[in-house]
Amino acid sequence: MDGPVIRSHISRKWLVRMILIGVGLFAFGMWGLFDALVAYPKRGAGAASFAEFNYLDSLETGQSGSVDDPVSELARLKAAAEHSSKAEWLEQLSYIGRLNAAQTLLPRTDPETGVLIPDAATRREELSKRWTRSDGKEKKAPKRLSALDIPTQWLITALGAGLGLWMFALVAIVRRKTYTWEPASLRLGLPEGGSVIPDDVAEFDKRKWHKFFIHLHIKPSHPTLGGKEIPIDLMRYEPVENWILEMERIAFPPPPEAPVAAPSEDAPALVSDASSEKRPASSEKRPD
């Protein structure tokens, strides 16, 4: 090995772009996670509470309002295509994973407050304080969940966080690879092992040059890489592109420029004579 050896480094422009994209994707996935675990369940619980209030308010005197088996009851209501406050209440509970007797049976202990709810009238009075304004009118109904709302947020979480982590992993993988360059011998060292000089390359394939890729077609005479096609990523590694262009210039030098013909000795005189013939005498006046 003669002379110094230069090592490539990861492109700062590419690195910054990958980090920004990765952070953006991961943040988007965390936003989906927050919606799936907090925001959407809270919205669904509010919609279920409002529907329960309307259901209890519609009961006649003497009706208990208790639902002993909410899963079977919801299936029955769906089969009957019944659109009621009761069906909406049970449906919203199912979307947030709370469709069980602990949420629908009366009497019951409120899972959130731990307070005993003895009957439908007490529960209705409690919900009335939440969903009735001071002027006696009902508050605006909260937006209901659909069956796909929370699953969609989980999908966003998986895609966003997964792709974000993949971008960070890609950066780590790229950082582990290094090209080397020996200016004295114009030898390019490859990350996978082996090295080539300009005379080893049969073709510098630039069909994907616009995508910052080049393929080196190695001559069969190379002891370890003969006949192989080596792809090189010019976007992620610097200054590999300059090294490749230097190798190409040596392996396939540009044709020499054609010499410019020197003017004959008589040409200046002829031009001078012609110009002197056309030039007016110094004493000649310009026409008025």
Specify the pLDDT at position 133. 85
Asked if 126 and 181 sit in the same domain, the reply is no
Examine residue 67 and state whether it is found in any structural domain, yes or no.
Answer: yes
- Scanning the chain, the segments in alpha helix (DSSP H) are 12-34, 40-57, 70-79, 85-95, 101-104, 120-131, 149-176, 240-251, 266-278
Count of structural domains, the chain: 2
Token digits for 193?
Answer: 């092992």
Work out the angle between the directed axes of helices 40-57 and 149-176 (0-180°, nearest 10).
170
- Least confident piece of the model among 22-26, 109-113, 122-126, 248-252: 109-113
Distance between CA atoms of 175 and 236, rounded to whole angstroms?
9
CA distances, 216 to each of 148, 178, 244 (Å): 50, 17, 9
Buried b (16+ CB within 10 A) or exposed e, 254-278: eeeeeeeeeeeeeeeeeeeeeeeee
Q: What percent of the chain has pLDDT over 70?
A: 89
Question: Range of 215's domain?
Answer: 177-251
For the question of whether the overall pTM of this predicted structure is more than 0.85, the answer is: no
Could you tell me if residue 271 is inside a domain? Answer: no
Asked if residue 64 is part of any domain, the answer here is: yes
Query: In terms of domains, do 233 and 121 share one?
Result: no
The residue-averaged pLDDT of 262-266 equals: 60
Find the range with the poorest average confidence among 30-34, 71-75, 125-129, 138-142. Answer: 138-142
Q: Are 41 and 121 part of one and the same domain?
A: yes
| Model pLDDT for residues 187-219, shown as the tens digit of each residue | 999 999 999 999 999 999 999 999 999 999 999
Query: What is residue 110's predicted lDDT score, i.e. its pLDDT?
Result: 87
Confidence of residue 262 (pLDDT cuts 50, 70, 90): low
At 223 the pLDDT is 94
Higher pLDDT, 240 or 284: 240
Residue 285 in any domain: the answer is: no
Higher pLDDT, 138 or 12: 12
Query: Residue 282: its pLDDT value, please?
Result: 37
261 lies in some domain: no
Note whether 26 and 98 are same-domain residues.
yes
pLDDT at 67: 95
* Domain annotation covers residue 196: yes
Q: Is pLDDT at 165 greater than 50 in this prediction?
A: yes
Task: Give the model confidence (pLDDT) of 117-161 as tens digits.
Answer: 999 999 999 999 999 987 878 888 899 999 999 999 999 999 999
Q: What is the mean pLDDT of residues 227-237?
A: 96
Same domain for 58 and 129?
yes
Q: Does residue 284 surpass a pLDDT of 60?
A: no
What mean pLDDT do residues 84-103 have?
Answer: 96
Is 5 within the bounds of a domain?
A: no
Both 103 and 21 in one domain: the answer is yes
> Could you tell me if 109 and 28 lie in one domain?
yes
Both 189 and 115 in one domain: the answer is no
User: Do residue 234 and residue 127 come from a single domain?
Assistant: no
The reported pLDDT for the residue numbered 1 is: 53
pLDDT average, residue stretch 225-243:
96
129 and 181 in a single domain? The answer is no
Where does the pLDDT of residue 281 fall: very low under 50, low under 70, confident under 90, or very high at 90 and above?
very low
Same domain, yes or no: 26 and 100: yes
- Six token digits for residue 245: 């262009």
Question: How high is the pLDDT of residue 263?
Answer: 64
Q: Is the pLDDT of residue 246 over 70?
A: yes
Q: Is residue 4 part of a domain?
A: no
Confidence of residue 261 (pLDDT cuts 50, 70, 90): low
Same domain, 60 and 118: yes
